[in-house]
Structure 1
Amino acid sequence: MKSNKSIAILLGVLSALFFAVTFVLNRLMSVDGGHWIWSASLRFFWMIPFLLVLVLFRKNLKPLLIEMKKKPWQWMLWSTIGFGIFYAPLTFAAAYGPSWLVASTWQITIVAGMLISPIINKTSFKKNISLQALLFSLIILLGILIMQISQAKSISMNELLLGTIPVLIAAFAYPLGNRKMMQVTNGKLNAIQRTLGMTLGSLPFWLLLSIFGVTINKFPNELQVYQTLIVAICSGVIATVLFFMATDKVQKDEKALASVEATQSAEVLFALVGEIIILKIHLPDIYSIIGIALVIIGMLLHSFKKEKRTVSGLQD
């Protein structure tokens, strides 16, 4: 089991590395003049063939289509929220803030998930809200606040708000959409099936967004098309599969599972290093580094807190 845990943690760190590609390349596409509409929509268009191959290889397409046919409007609604209202604001924010800042602010999704959980499942209010969990969340919020104050020194208030408010919207939309879809599917589909189903369910949103991009005379350039392909492969496929492999290896070991979940806080560091190497940005100041450290500490504390309630939480 010890070797399995080590391999799982390594896979978790690798998945965080590939997830970080999203933040760095979204920022790069923005700096290169690529419009956020295409950074968002092209990623999901690209994801469909890759996910389709994975699902077909496992012979899991028919069960997915049967489930989608039962509740098509719920699939469309929660997929649009969980994927569309999540990723479109995230790419929009990349035009106004560095990738490491967006990645750090994105960690507030931990807090968002805790806050919306009682709304989705009212019977688990006491299980999901605790003083300890709130304390860990406040550590994350403090880290984000420190980074935002540091960032405010170099950009206008308008840019700061446009670079953070959309991320906050995305942070709530992602857990809301995904948790509601888990309720709709009720354990009948695996994670890759749900990912493909939600990608298909959110297609009307991406098509409408693309049409809007065309009407305002914004078109993707050739470089952006290739960059979104890289994001789709790295984040939408590789990172997701690696993370599933990691959790599968230690699914019966709660302590190891919590350690794997904690590896995702490495996205912040990978995004920072990636932007320094690719975009040649200057190192963040001491306040931003303190903020990043607090976000990672808060994430780690949240992960270890989950050890004691993972099983009961899954049974709700």
Structure 2
Amino acid sequence: MASTARQATLLLLLTLQVGVQPLLMGWYASEARDVRLRVGVVEFLKLLLALVPLSLTRGEAGLLNQLKTWKLRAAIATTVLPALIYVMQNLLNHAAVVALDGVTFNVLNQTKIIWTALLVYLLLEDAGQRDDAVAFTGMYQALLAAVLSALAGSIIQRALQREKRNQYMVTVELSVLGELTLLVLAGVQDGLMQSSDGDSQDMWEGWSVMTLAALLCQALGGVLVGFVIRDCGNVEKSFAVVAGMGITALLETHFNGKPFGHNALVAMALVAISTALYTLNPPAKKTSADTSELEPFLAPPTVVTVSSNSVHTSSTSRQEMRRSVRQMQILSEVPTAPRQLEAIV
């Protein structure tokens, strides 16, 4: 397990990234209409961010050794399903973050805490009609993305903590699979929609250098999340995002002129209370050297074992029985001596 200082640093960085990310996306990415393209660029940036340290690292954690020891079966078992989930989650989040203000988006995103705790427990075994146009707004997108994030994060936590997989390789696998999924999705959608020839020219409309900067910040957050899940846990990651919600509220008030109302204060108070309750009452952790589990192995060996036909004893048990028999014989002979003397007299 990582040191407390490392855990605190990772959680602080994640808190800051989550706090500024909604504002950056609202300022610089809202004009970039193609959601698939935004998600694809983020996945490509995460791939680069994972390959660079892998290439610079030597030894067992290096790129060459990781490729030699890489197993398709392990990758399929640990990253295929989370990659598909993350693609859907990212598409929903990118659509929701430009439709909602930062505070609302982050508040809705925090419903993942309940789902995360439940799914981590299950996976790791730690103990009205509406119009179709309104039925799937940014709120529904953010809520569904929160559930998907909890599910994918729980699966990744199991892969990183139980199976001891390299974090960078998991990021590479997730990014590659995410890009392939987006390409397949784009091909299917374009085939169904039969887009015109001019659509490809408008693909980069609304993009700027700051758009890339906002997406790079999100990619850094995606890599950072992997370290937080591995070294701190998925539930702790969710609480770091809750703290980022407070930073988002302050930035929204200062830069966008959106006041921090009473409802937001109540929500933040509830979040603080729930965080304190979780911190003061952590789940009991099982230890490998649990004395209750070792008691059967520490118990003394059985002296006599009974079979269906006869009684058997071990060699040590037989020696102990012989000693006891001799002692009984000596004790039985001692009281008879006076009687013999009396008879002689």
* Pairwise TM-score range, normalised by the shorter structure: 0.5 to 0.7
Distance 1:57 1:215, change over 3 A: farther
Normalising to structure 1: TM-score of the pair? 0.67
In structure 2, the partner of 1:309 is: 284
Distance 1:102 1:61, change over 3 A: same
Q: Tell me the CA shift for residue 300 of structure 1.
A: 4.2
Alpha carbons 1:41, 1:206 under 8 Å: kept: yes
Distance 1:64 1:38, change over 3 A: same
CA RMSD across the alignment: 4.0
Task: Find out whether 1:266 has 2:232 as its counterpart.
Answer: no
1:9-34 superposed Cα distances (whole Å, 9 cap, x missing partner): 35532331023333222333454353
Distance 1:258 1:206, change over 3 A: closer
Distance 1:260 1:97, change over 3 A: closer
- Which has the larger helix fraction? 1
Q: Which of 222, 237, 252 is matched with 2:220 structurally?
A: 237
Rg: which structure is higher?
2
1:288-308 superposed Cα distances (whole Å, 9 cap, x missing partner): 3322332343244334433x4
Task: State the aligned residue count.
Answer: 270
Q: Which of 114, 117, 134 is matched with 1:114 structurally?
A: 117
In structure 1, the partner of 2:138 is: 163
Distance 1:86 1:67, change over 3 A: farther
Alpha carbons 1:76, 1:202 under 8 Å: kept: no
In structure 2, the partner of 1:202 is: 178
Alpha carbons 1:97, 1:160 under 8 Å: kept: no
Q: Which of 90, 95, 98 is matched with 1:95 structurally?
A: 98
Normalising to structure 2: TM-score of the pair? 0.62
1:201-228 superposed Cα distances (whole Å, 9 cap, x missing partner): 2221222345547965362336356424
Calculate percent identity across the aligned residue pairs: 13
In structure 2, the partner of 1:283 is: 259
Task: Find out whether 1:58 has 2:57 as its counterpart.
Answer: yes
Structure 1 spans left out of the alignment, 5+ residues: 129-155
Q: Tell me the CA shift for residue 73 of structure 1.
A: 4.3
**Which aligned pairs between 1:24-63 and structure 2 lie closer than 5 A?**
24-29=23-28, 31-32=30-31, 34-59=33-58, 60-62=62-64
Alpha carbons 1:30, 1:94 under 8 Å: kept: no
Distance 1:78 1:63 in 2: 25
Alpha carbons 2:82, 2:155 under 8 Å: kept: no
**Which aligned pairs between 1:4-19 and structure 2 lie closer than 5 A?**
5=4, 9=8, 11-19=10-18
Distance 1:70 1:260 in 2: 28
Q: Which structure's relative contact order is higher, taking Cα pairs within 8 Å and 6+ residues apart?
A: 1
Q: Tell me the CA shift for residue 112 of structure 1.
A: 0.9
Distance 1:285 1:240 in 2: 33
Distance 1:258 1:304 in 2: 14
Structure 2 spans left out of the alignment, 5+ residues: 289-345
Distance 1:189 1:223 in 2: 36
Alpha carbons 2:41, 2:215 under 8 Å: kept: no
Distance 2:79 2:235 in 1: 32
Alpha carbons 2:90, 2:145 under 8 Å: kept: yes
1:175-218 superposed Cα distances (whole Å, 9 cap, x missing partner): 32243345457423233332222122222122234554796536
Q: Tell me the CA shift for residue 75 of structure 1.
A: 5.4
Q: Which amino acid is 2:281 matched to?
A: K
